[in-house]
Amino acid sequence: MKPPLSPEDAQGDRGLRMTPPSGARERYVAAFMLGLALFFPPLLAVFDVPGTLLGIPVLFLYLYLAWLTVILVVVLIVVRTREDGTDEPSAEQDEAGR
Amino acid sequence: MDLLRQRGPGGPGGIHYLPIYLGPTLMAAVWWIVLRKMVRISKVNRITSIADFVASRYGKSPLLGGLVTIIALVGLIPYIALQLKAVSDTFTVMVMYPEVTAQDLMHSVPFYMDTAFYVALILALFAILFGTRHIDTAEHHQGMVAAIAFESIVKLVAFLAAGLMITFVIFGGPADLFGQAARHPDLAELFRVGELADYGNWVALILLSMVVILVLPRQFQVAVVENVDERHVSKAAWLFPLYLFLINLFVLPIAFAGVLMFGHGEIHPDSFVLALPLSQDLQWLALMVFLGGLSAATAMIIVETVALATMLCNDLVMPVLLRIRWLRLQQRKDLTRLLLHLRRWGILVGILLGYGYVRITGDMVALVGMGLVSFCAVAQFAPALIGGIFWKGATQKGALAGLAAGFAVWLYTLLLPAFAQSGWLSMGFVEQGLMGIALLKPYALFGLEGLDPITHSLIWSMLVNVGAYVTVSLLTRQSTMERIQANLFVDVFRLSADRYGSSRFWRGTATVRDLLDLLKRFVGEERAVRAFHQYARARGLDFRRMREADGELILMCERMLAGSIGTASARVMVSNVAKGDVVSLEEVMEILDEASQVITYSQQLEAKSRELEAATAELRAANAQLQQLDRMKDDFISTVTHELRTPLTSIRSFTEILHDHPDLETAKRQEFLGIIISESERLTRLINQVLDLAKLESGAMRWYIRRLDLVEILTEAATTTGQLFRDKGVDLALELPEQPVWIPTDRDRLMQVVINLLSNAVKFTPSQTGRVVLRLRPARDGGVRVEVEDNGPGIPAEALPTLFEKFRQVGDALTDKPEGTGLGLAICKNIVQRLGGRIWVETEPDQGSRFIFTLPVPRFPEAAGE
């Protein structure tokens, strides 16, 4: 593991200093999985029924609400990640690779 | 998507417009993982297009870059055509409302009267102006991005306004709108996903749009190349899906409203969003919608064609041109103009090809389907791309195989059938399969029926693509460059914490002047000089004083060049400029190999010298041994001479006495004569034995091996020596088996041994009480064992080691008068060993001795009693 860099060591391009703690990756993947679950057949078929709710067709309502939910989850993750002191320039853990 | 049909050429209608936007939402959730890595990699390696990205990852392979470019080109022409038509249709509707007929939207008029043609030209012009002012495309077009962002917001506001207006003003709210729609016969069915196959289509579309959002060239351009700050990725991860959400919020209501208001057929559904406000005299709203939609669409086309043209120029045309020697491109003074021209022509060609496609297919319906067909084509990049940034083991050949295979499947299952449906090819192979083989029907490969063409093609092409990619990657090996690039890509976060992720070691010398000239040619003088100044300043050097370029400077130049002409071409150029040998990594590896070879060689030398020492030591030992043997030989000769002389002296003395004293008394005379006789005998014996031994040792002895009865030989020997025993009064007992014992042996020699042993035994046993046993027993290893046992004084321990050596006699040579020659046992040992046996003695002082020798008996297949 490399020792943390000081900001002066980092390249001038400001984007390269930012690295999140490893917890963020898991959360994003979780959000992804949530989306998969909500948008894919098993749950999808449950709501694929005729009829309306508040005058709006059920499927339509469900899809848009689910969509909005996923977006809001991602917002939460982004906000939470920033709060967790992501400005410390620590080196990213090794990516999986062969 | 024509969502008002239950089923169209693009698949099911209705709610199925939605998955294309759900997919990107899902992918955006993991953008922080995937996209950010792509951004970082592209920044570090100065990558400017998706073809560049793929080519760079797999060992800077121009072949791969070219293939990606071709696939992108072929795949995206329909998509460009689609967007082109959308723009020109919007324009037409806006201008000609309300007398818009379906006829106006066809393109049967000559091209110079066709709105779409002029739209295409204008778009090409915009694209050229926007995208080809500079050559270094690694620069950000922040102005263009800002303009796109602005237009997008305008479009969003407009569409939301239109949607709200239509839903709440024209109708009484969503409940009213949907309620009316439910009563409409055509619309009621569209609220559902549909049959099971439609679920397949749903899933396929989500997955397809998920990868397309990564690999579509314009997506790559905007999301990766134009990125200025990695933190933007996390913001985009929710902002982008939110935008999609809002823009699509009123799609269904607007569509239903249009049908409810206009009925089918008169106004094209895609124009409802314009037509509805216009029908209510809300011109301002319609204008906003028009402007927003038009500008956003044109921005899409511009970015798409610029990205395509960049790829065409960098990854297809330039590598080919650089390799054509007679063009001598590498000596041209200024290549910026060439590059610019190539880019511009690329844009024009791309857009005109799109227009051509519009004319040929004509119908919007057909084109709509083509949008997804294009997506399927570019989706073939996904395995190589995503695999490339996470899997180090992915090889170039694997990527090539996957891409080629997936593309081929796509061609066969989507593009060619589309041509057939437009009338270019016969429909025969579509309906009956290639060459009549039903399993090869392009829409139902291997019997997979019931799926819409997009889903079907996606399944098969991805299967083949990923399968070939993984399999070939596992089966092939990477070159050094590939391995380096793989590490650079997969470990980019770890590596870019350092200053350089360099993949090359430069040993060559290039002058600063040469490099500057090179750079000037491609990025222009001003920028080149500025870059060099910056470089020098950062290191505290004087730019004008720099003579030789060090490795870092060369790398910097290569990076800047890569921004203009792509990494593969940049490498070619710089390596030609650097004088002396440019050390590529392969060469470094070779040098390392050499070094290790030298080390191995020296190790081998050391080993050889050690062996040499050992050999020398052996030689010395052998020499010593030979010298000792020499001494022993001398000893032997002197001993033998002595032994011979002694009896000879006696014989002569006594003979002289007899001669000189003729009247010696008889008794005395008899005594002396007896001595002479015995000494003569002794002499004879000695000479015989010496001769025997000499013959034995020199191998000149003749051996007559026959199958003989050992019992008989032993008995004979006993008889021969019987007199000796009787004379001394020693008892000789024989313990021999009754049956004959046949062994192959030499009779005379064996007799010699046994007689010798018996004579010794008789000599060393006391008379009267002495007892010698001659015994024959089977040996443990299957041979025979002969024992001569006596109850004499035994043999002292110190005499044992040398017992069987020449001239060794038991007893002190001075005090005990030797009774033999000292050669007997040596001869026995020699003979026994020649016959394949062993001889030894078992003895204890005062316990007697037992001389034993064994002889091997080879197994005869016949029975023993023969």
Q: Is residue A45 part of a domain?
A: yes
Kindly indicate the confidence band of residue A32, based on its pLDDT and cuts at 50, 70 and 90: very high
Phi, psi (degrees; rounded to nearest 5) at B776: -125, 125
Instruction: Specify the pLDDT at position B866.
Output: 39
* Residue B195 C-alpha, separation from nearest chain A C-alpha, in angstroms: 10
Looking only at the bridges linking them, the beta strands covering B731-735 and B771-778 are parallel
Q: Is residue A41 part of a domain?
A: yes
- pLDDT digit string, tens, across residues B457-495: 999 999 999 999 999 999 998 887 888 888 888 888 776
Q: Is residue A98 part of a domain?
A: no
Coil vs helix vs strand at B390: helix
Compute the distance between CA of residue B282 and CA of residue A1 in angstroms, rounded to an integer. 64
Q: Is A55 on the interface with B (CB under 8 A)?
A: yes
Q: Is B224 in contact with B149 (CB distance < 8 Å)?
A: no
Q: CA nearest B31: which of B196, B182, B231?
A: B231
Query: B702-855 has which CATH code?
Result: 3.30.565.10
Coil vs helix vs strand at B59: coil
* Residue B49 C-alpha, separation from nearest chain A C-alpha, in angstroms: 20
Instruction: Specify the pLDDT at position B544.
Output: 67
* Residue A36 C-alpha, separation from nearest chain B C-alpha, in angstroms: 7
Task: Output b/e per residue, B202-233; b: 16+ Cβ within 10 A.
Answer: bbbbbbbbbbbbbbbbbbbbbbbbbbeebbbb
Compute the distance between CA of residue B856 and CA of residue B866 in angstroms, rounded to an integer. 19
| Nearest CB to B235; choose among A29, A52, A78 | A78
Q: How many CB atoms lie within 10 A of CB B339?
A: 24
Q: Is B311 in contact with B66 (CB distance < 8 Å)?
A: no
Q: Is residue A33 part of a domain?
A: yes
Q: Where are the domains of chain B?
A: 7-482, 504-583, 588-691, 702-855
Instruction: Specify the pLDDT at position B23.
Output: 92
Angle between helices B115-131 and B336-361 (to 10 degrees): 160
Answer whether A29 sits within 8 Å of B33, measured CB to CB.
yes
Radius of gyration in angstroms for the set of CA atoms belonging to chain B, rounded to a whole number: 54
Compute the distance between CA of residue A14 and CA of residue A35 in angstroms, rounded to an integer. 32
Indicate the DSSP class of residue B413.
Answer: I
Q: Is B777 in contact with B787 (CB distance < 8 Å)?
A: yes
Q: CA nearest B732: which of B774, B775, B676?
A: B774
Compute the distance between CA of residue B208 and CA of residue B216 in angstroms, rounded to an integer. 11
Instruction: Specify the pLDDT at position B99.
Output: 62
Picking from A6, A22, A60, A72 by the largest number of B CB atoms within 10 A of its own CB, the best residue to mutate is A60
Answer whether A28 sits within 8 Å of B30, measured CB to CB.
yes
Q: In which domain, by residue range, is A32 found?
A: 19-83
| Number of domains making up chain A | 1
Query: B7-482 has which CATH code?
Result: 1.20.1730
Scanning every residue of chain B, which has its alpha carbon at the shortest distance from the alpha carbon of A66?
B22
Q: Is residue A59 part of a domain?
A: yes
Answer whether A60 sits within 8 Å of B15, measured CB to CB.
yes
Instruction: Specify the pLDDT at position B860.
Output: 57
| Nearest CB to B229; choose among A5, A15, A45 | A15
Instruction: Specify the pLDDT at position B557.
Output: 84
**ipTM for this model:** 0.71
With residue B147 as reference, give the H or E element that holds it.
helix B142-164
Contacts of B393 in chain A (CB under 8 A): 98
Instruction: Specify the pLDDT at position B505.
Output: 42
Q: Is A44 in contact with B202 (CB distance < 8 Å)?
A: yes
Q: Is B174 in contact with B167 (CB distance < 8 Å)?
A: yes
The token pair that represents B418 in the structure block: 């589309």
Q: Amino acid identity of B272?
A: F
Compute the distance between CA of residue B355 and CA of residue B117 in angstroms, rounded to an integer. 7
Q: Is A42 on the interface with B (CB under 8 A)?
A: no
Q: Is A46 on the interface with B (CB under 8 A)?
A: no
Q: Is residue A5 part of a domain?
A: no
User: Which residues of chain B are modeled with pLDDT < 50?
Assistant: 1, 9-10, 498-508, 580-583, 812-818, 862-866
Adjacent-strand bridge partners of B731: B771
Architecture of the domain whose range is B588-691: Orthogonal Bundle (1.10)
Q: Is B325 on the interface with A (CB under 8 A)?
A: no
Instruction: Specify the pLDDT at position B329.
Output: 63
Q: CA nearest B277: which of B197, B167, B351?
A: B167
Q: Is residue A97 part of a domain?
A: no
Cα angle B145, B150, B155 (rounded to 5 degrees) comes to: 125
Compute the distance between CA of residue B693 and CA of residue B756 in angstroms, rounded to an integer. 14
Q: How far apart are the first and last CA of chain A?
A: 18
Instruction: Specify the pLDDT at position A8.
Output: 45
Contacts of B190 in chain A (CB under 8 A): none
